Amino acid sequence: MLDRYARRLIDPPLNQIGAGLATRGYTANGVTLIGLGLGLFAALLIAVGAPMLALVPLLASRIADGLDGAVARATQKTDFGGYLDIAADFLFYGAIPLAFVLSDPAGNGSAGAFLLASFYFNGTSFLGYAILAEKHGDKTDAQGQKSLYYSNGILEGTETIVFFVILCLLPHLFTPLAWVFGALCFATATLRIYAAKQIYTT
């Protein structure tokens, strides 16, 4: 729900920084991979029991995730770049819950599995909706300029990042928070499927 509002705040400075990176020879795909590396490093820190230390690379990875699109807009957007970006995002979103499970398998295992299943379902509904939107020629820039159609929902990228930050600050509450967030992910995906049925039945 918050992505469209967050983009209005962060896009102008990101575009300015991205243009500067582009003039220094950085590529959008390179920035995407840097962001992924930072995100996976954050997951590693969580897995070894240092979630507070993970906050810095975690947030840096999300800044890089915004900057890759800004660099692409300043240079050249490609279909592969958009594909690489979404693949890296999904790997990051799966790695953080997995890291909390690895840090405490007995305590976090069930809730973590539920959360990952909800991410899987939500991600499938998101990508499937994007395919339908592309097929019907639908466009939106509500979540910024993207390489594919970004459908809105109860939970989007902004909420997920806030959730990850809260988990790092309050790791002892992972289990109840994961159950709640996972349930909201299932609700988001279900509502997205319902919306697709209403719009794309014919």
pLDDT at 171 over 80: yes
Three-state SS for 31-58 is HHHHHHHHHHHHHHHHHCCCHHHHHHHH
pLDDT digits (tens, 9 = 90+) for 39-72: 999 999 999 999 999 999 999 999 999 898 889 8
pTM: 0.86
Q: What is the pLDDT of residue 4?
A: 63
pLDDT digits (tens, 9 = 90+) for 181-195: 999 999 999 999 999
In the chain, what percentage of residues exceed pLDDT 70? Answer: 89
